[in-house]
Amino acid sequence: MVTVFGAYGHTGRFVVTELRERGFVPILAGRDADKLKALAYETGLEARPASVDDPGSLDRALAGAAAVINTAGPFATTGGPVIEAALRAGIPYLDVAAEIEANADTFAHFGERARAAGAVIVPAMAFYGGLGDLLATAAMGEWTSADEAHVAYALSSWHPTAGTRASGVISRERRDGRRVRFANGRLEYRDDPSPTLEWSFPEPVGPRDVIGEFTMADVVTVPSHLSIPEVRTYMTVEAAKDVVSADAPAPAPADESGRSAQTFLVDVVVRSGSDERRAVATGQDIYAITAPLVVEAVERVLSGRTKAVGVVSAGEIFDAPDFLRALSAHLTVDLRK
């Protein structure tokens, strides 16, 4: 059994479905008892209401589970309490947090405790943070360091979920309205506007205007284990406008699996001196693809196909090229060295 905290949310539902398709029995958990009850009726699964301000309820939600997946943002609020519950239960914790500061907090606050306990905590095991880290790690190959890494996102659109909007509000509050980037080996907070530039994506996308330093969780996961002092992320201008628009609709299902029509291309470039390596991934629906990413991770953690313990990113704990190949039914990956 695997507990899914936030199971009734948009991404949580994809995760529950993916777990069942792979033979796991999900335990439905979360803060809204009515939504849990409705999902339990719909799926026939056990529901365990739990609140982050009630440790006992979290302990009950995780009782008997082999692992917990936290899909409930804002992770600045939910991450710490659910990690504490996982440590008490002695089970692996994985989340799908895209919040930069929440992920940085997880590494900073739980790293030593998790290593000492031999525990596995994998933050940002999602489209943002996890996928970019896997692609950068695979592109690095035998390199032990690089001068810079660039992760450029081309999204056909970005209709945000309620969770994405709530997380964005928390992040902006924590930054006092400033923007963040990873440079000189650390997170830097700046008041100047992000630059707009052109990025030459592989076909069929081609050259597109992007917001430079549109910073995502990759700036936490990639340098957490790769010696790269400059990590920059970019977003196509149209998608960047979408996600902050008050009028942007929520994702709408376009097929029987519930995926939206949104498509994505992730272009990762690592540079060392004059040498350059590239990894490219394409697929459909950034929220839906998070489910096979995090469930593949759970499967590998529980079967012992890991390389590290503690608070670890996807690229550090897993064999990155092999992990990406395992997602071939959901993701097309091209490693260009």
Are residue 274 and residue 297 in the same domain, yes or no?
no
Whether 276 and 186 share a structural domain: yes
Reading the block at residue 301, the tokens are 């953690």
As a whole number of angstroms, the distance between CA 204 and CA 43 comes to 39
| Relative orientation angle of helices 75-89 and 55-62, to the nearest 10 degrees | 60
Please tell me whether residues 25 and 78 are part of one structural domain.
Answer: yes
Helical axes 75-89 vs 162-174, angle rounded to 10°: 100
**Neighbour count for residue 114 (Cβ, 10 Å):** 23
Mean pLDDT of 170-175: 87
* Whether residue 337 has pLDDT greater than 70: no
Rounded-to-integer distance, Cα 113 and Cα 115, Å = 6
Q: pLDDT tens digits for 182-229? A: 999 999 999 999 999 999 999 999 999 999 999 999 999 999 999 999
Q: Are residues 184 and 199 in the same domain?
A: yes
Domain around 117:
2-125+291-317
What does DSSP assign to residue 177?
T
Residues 57 and 152 both lie in one domain: no
Model confidence over 60-80: pLDDT tens digits? 999 999 999 999 999 999 999
The CATH number of residue 308's host domain is 3.40.50.720
Distance of CA 113 to the CA centre of its chain: 22
pTM of the model: 0.96
* Residues 310, 272 share a domain: no
Lowest mean pLDDT among 102-111, 140-149, 171-180, 309-318: 171-180
Is the pLDDT reported for residue 333 higher than 90? yes
Q: How many domains does the chain have?
A: 2
* Beta-bridge partner residues of 231: 149, 182
Radius of gyration of the chain (CA): 19
